[in-house]
Structure formats: C-alpha cells, structure tokens
Chain A
Amino acid sequence: MTRAYVLRRIGFMVVVILFAMTVNFALPRLVPGDIFDVLYGDERITPETREMLMARFGLNKPVITQYWLYITNTLRGEWGRSVMFFPTPVSKLIWQRLPYTLALLWIATLITAGVGYLLGVIAGWRAGSKTDSTIQGFSLALLAAPVFWLGMILLFIFGYRLDWFPLSGAKTAAYHASNWFAWLFDWGKHAFLPILSMALHFGTSQLIMRNTLVSTLREHYILTAKAKGLSDRTVMYKHAARNALLPVVTGIMMRFSMVIAGSVLIETVFSYPGMGRLMFQAVQNLDYQMIQGCFFMLSVVAIATVFIIDLVYLFLDPRIRY
C-alpha cells in the first residue's frame, strides 16, 4: 500500500515537472511578438535576417517538434547559453550556485519550523494568556513586514553600522580555508544574516502549531494523561505537542514556495551568489534563457523538497497507510 502511495507521488512529481517545462516553453510563445522583437525592437532587423534567425534557432519548425526538442534538451541539461555570461552554458552557472541556495533554503526552513514549533507550544499551552497574546502579536507583526525589508534592516544594523558580519558574498574573496572547520566558519559568517532574515518569518508555523495544539488539548487522552498525575511538561511535550506536529509539517510543505520567494529576495539584498541573485541579475539584463533555467531548477528543488516531506510525513504518522 505504501509503495502504491510513493509511486503515485512520483507520478505527481513527473507531471508537475512536465508542467513547469511547458510553462517555460509556452510563455515566450504566448507573449505578443516574437523573441527578436523583444531583443532588438521591430525596426532593427530586416525580414530576411529574421527568417534566417528563425531557421537558425529552429523556430520555423512545427510547434510540436519544437516542444519535443525543448523537453529532450531540458532533460539532457541543455538549457541554452547565458547572455550576461556569454558563452557559459546556463546549466553550468546554475549548478555552481545551487548548493548555496539549497543550504540557505533548507536551514532557514528547519529553523523556521523549529522556532515556530516551540513558540507555538508555549503560546498554545497557555492560550488566552498574556504570553500567548505577546507571542501572537510578535509573529503577526514580523509576518506583515516584507522579508527582504527585514533583511535590509539587519544588513544595515549588523553589517554596516556594527560591522559584525560581512556585507556581501558567500565566502571571503581570496581566502583559502586551511581546514573544513575554518571553511564552515567563513561560510556561516556570510550566511548568518540571510538565514536570520528568512527565519524571522516563523509566524506561519507558530500560528499553525498554536491552533492545532489548542484543539488537541481538548482531546480525551490529554485529560487521561493529566488524571494519571503526569507533570505538565510531560503532558505538553510527550502527549500534546507530538500529536500536533503533523500540521506543522504540512505547513512547511505548503509554505516552501514562499521560502523560495524569500531566498530570491534575500540573496538580492545580501548579494549572495545563489540562484535567486542569478535570477535577479538575469532580469536586469533580460537574459531570458537564464531566467527560464533558474525557474526550472527552483521548480525541481521545490518538487523534490515536497516529495521528501511527503515521505517524512509517512514515517511520522503511523496512522497513515495509503
């Protein structure tokens, strides 16, 4: 049964990846005018040149052939060449930056979930108290502030004013770490503020955790646990919080798209050499191949993450057997 479920999820993943590729393929073709209008404007190329260019890039073939070529090329890792870093292939630039973005994304997600979980337990346990409303107010206020603006404030205070953290980049230039620990320290120094800015949006998982806990506390088994004479701590963490954990995991899954959005913006603020900043630069330079490549790779990351969380969920909740 479980195997059937996993297979179905894999099927879903394949469909979503195909959909992402179709979006990439269809968008430039749906926009009025063709790519040469966008790049050169109407008047700068003659009809003959246009014909030649269309043939050169295979744009005169039937759409279905183009689509097939596009899909097979994408799967083979042929994502075209970047305009801003010509002639480096898009895929090479993306592979270089992917690890940095992944580290930011996943660490920020884990911290957000962890902090949200803890604060959610504290708030939910004493729902209606002063502690509860303080925590609620705090998370809501932080959630209302744009994540990149929080990043700008942090960068200004801790980077420029106090000079505690580096101002940009992911590694100190021209610095060769003597051992892996020094390397990690250097990386951490650069990644600290970006991750912190993203983690400040812990509010969503905090709210989910609190609300689930409030309804869990009404369950009979909590009353039983209390009647057995267990301490508040044990009831809180072993009985209530564990059962309220699942919605938080679902919450992470639903919010992962937001985390990716956050990383694109935060990397731009901190000039962090990840895929988000690459995408920003590509937009500034109208490097369409690069924008498409970044979108596709980020989609794959999102799909893979959701799949992993799905499997974790299966493992966490023994009641679920599909």
Chain B
Amino acid sequence: MFKWWAKYRKSKVGVAGLIVFVLITLAVILAPVLATTDLEETSVVNFEPPTFSHHTHDHPYRDEIVEHGTHLLGTNAVGEDLWSRIWHAGRISLLIGVVASVIITSTGTIVGLVAGYFGGIVDEILIRFVDMMMVLPRLPMMILMAAFLGPGIPSIMFVIIVFGWTAPARSIRAQVLSVKQRTYVEKARSIGGSKRHIIWNHIFPNVSGVAVAYLILEIMRVIMLEAALSFLGLGDPQTPSWGMMLFFAQSEGAFSMEAWWWFVPPGLLIAALGASCNFIGTTINDRFVLKVKRG
C-alpha cells in the first residue's frame, strides 16, 4: 500500500486530481452540515443572485436579500437555496457514478477474463456484439430504453449499466490475451494449476491495474451520462442531481432571467470531478499499467 502511494505521489497531476476528488467527495458527504437551509425550505426571494455578485445592488428585492443574505449561490425560481441544493444533488450524482462504475467495471472484467482466457464461441459472440454496440448511437438507445422503463434514477442507472459493460470487457479481454502468452502462465498450466487458479492468481492480478484505471475513468463517464439523461428530462424531479439542476435551469428559463448562477456551478462541479477522475485514472494507467518512466 505504501509502496503504491510512494509511486503515485510522484505525479503532480495525479495528486492534484486526488485532492480535488477527495474534497468534492467530502463536501458531498457533509452536505447536511454544509447546507445553510433545509432542502424543502424556500425563501421569499426568487431569482436571488449569489451574495458575492454585484447584481444585488440593482435587484428589485434588494432589502429582503440584505436581510436574508445567506444564499451563497443565490436562489432558484421557487426561492430554494442553491448552495444547499448543490451539495445534496452532488450526493445523487456521485452515488450513481460510483455504484454504476463498480458494477460496470466488475461485470466487464469478469466477461473480459472469461472471454479472453477461454476464447472460442463466447469470445466470438462478445467481440461481434461489442463491435455492433460501438457503431450504434448510444445516447439515443439509452433514451429509448429509459423512456420505456419510465423516467427516474433506477432506469437511468439501469441503462447506463446495460450499455456500459461492453467497453471494459473489450479492453480487459485484450489485456488477458497478452498476459495469457507469458511464460509464467504457461508454467502454472504445465504444473497442473486449475483454470480457476490460473485466472485468479496469475491473470487477474496482471489486469487489475487496467481495471482500476478503468473504474476511475468510468466514474467520470457515468456522471456525464447521468447529467445528460437527466438534462433530457429522464431523471427524477424529486431527487435532484447536478444534471437535474441543469434541466431545471433550462426549463425554468435561466437564460431569459439572466440567472447564470443556476447553471454555472453544477456544470463546474461536474467538470471538476470529471477532470479529477481523468487525472487519477491517467496517472494510474501511466504508473502502474504502462509503467512510463518519468523524471
């Protein structure tokens, strides 16, 4: 564990990514502490700009705003405090991101291991299927399925998982094919190691780096997909995620109200979380999979 950390620590972007990721995760876990109001609580002031914004000066409800002055990120069309909402929404986004990524990556790893090691008909079917899925437009297919399942978080999770496992399966399979040829696998087989033993003790440890890097990058992709599907109105209005906040901003006329604080912060958080996952994943890939030598 310490050895890994010593190796990881050398990458500046990797450490920066990790710090951002941990900070956002902590903020999201501590949402009830950070929140200045209850989720249902509404203020008398709708369309209140953030406290730090100079627009407050010419706002029609200036006196009320000064009196209540606690809405760090302003309020939305029905007077809900956005600062409190954004952290609660982050819980939904991050939870979906982590849970779906874990399921996607573990399913993909198992399928990739089996297909790569045993080859034959399973492998053939997998590759043909993955090829086909790669050509078909994924988001429209997800929209189609989510629409039939009925909007909501379970259907969003379901479609993301159903269409997600093929890509990791393919890259794990490619990795297995190259590991399979190595001499230590040959040795293990020749001294009579069982298939299960070879897969778990010799092949899996060598593809686990790819799987971990994939898992981290997948969190970014899932959060983006969730945001996209929610933005298209397939989410659950009762449990807002960051994507849902963007959907509300769009549908409640953030543009004509010039209410930029409705859509800038959620997008920034998605981007920050995505970039941090990207940095972490790339670092793991560089250091532990490709073993790139750098200064």
Contacts and interface: CB of A to CB of B under 8 A. Distances in A.
Interface of A: 12, 15-16, 19-20, 23-24, 27-28, 31, 38, 140-141, 143-146, 148-149, 152-153, 155-156, 159-161, 167, 254, 257-258, 260-261, 264-265, 268-269, 279-280, 282-284, 286, 288, 291-292, 294-295, 298-299, 301-303, 306
Given A140-B275, A146-B224, 12 more contacts: A143-B278, A146-B227, A153-B263, A156-B258, A156-B263, A159-B255, A161-B258, A265-B232, A283-B147, A283-B232, A288-B147, A302-B135
B231 A265 contact: yes
B256 interface: yes
Interface in B237-281: 246, 249-250, 254-256, 258, 260, 263-264, 266-267, 270-275, 278-279
Given A149-B263, A152-B263, A279-B143, A306 B135 contact: yes
17 contacts: A23-B141, A27-B148, A38-B148, A140-B278, A143-B274, A145-B270, A160-B255, A160-B258, A260-B137, A261-B138, A279-B143, A283-B234, A286-B147, A294-B140, A298-B140, A302-B135, A302-B136
Nearest to B223: A146
Given A160-B255, A299-B140, A146 B275 contact: no
B137 A15 contact: no
A257 B134 contact: yes
Given A156-B260, A283-B233, A299 B137 contact: yes
A162 B226 CA distance: 31
A104 B175 CA distance: 37
Interface of B: 131-132, 134-141, 143-145, 147-150, 220, 224, 227-228, 231-234, 246, 249-250, 254-256, 258, 260, 263-264, 266-267, 270-275, 278-279
A19 B272 CA distance: 37
Q: Which 5 A-B pairs have the closest CB atoms?
A: A144-B274, A261-B139, A149-B267, A144-B275, A145-B271
A19 B249 contact: no
A257 B263 contact: no
A148 B246 contact: yes
B30 to A, nearest CB: 23
Contact of B246 (A28, A31, A152, A155): A152
Given A144-B275, A152-B263, A283-B233, A260 B220 contact: no
A143 B281 CA distance: 14
User: Chain A CB within 10 Å — which of B150, B224, B246, B258 has the most?
Assistant: B224
User: Chain B CB within 10 Å — which of A148, A160, A265 has the most?
Assistant: A148
A254 B131 CA distance: 10
B139 A264 contact: yes
Contacts of A159: 255
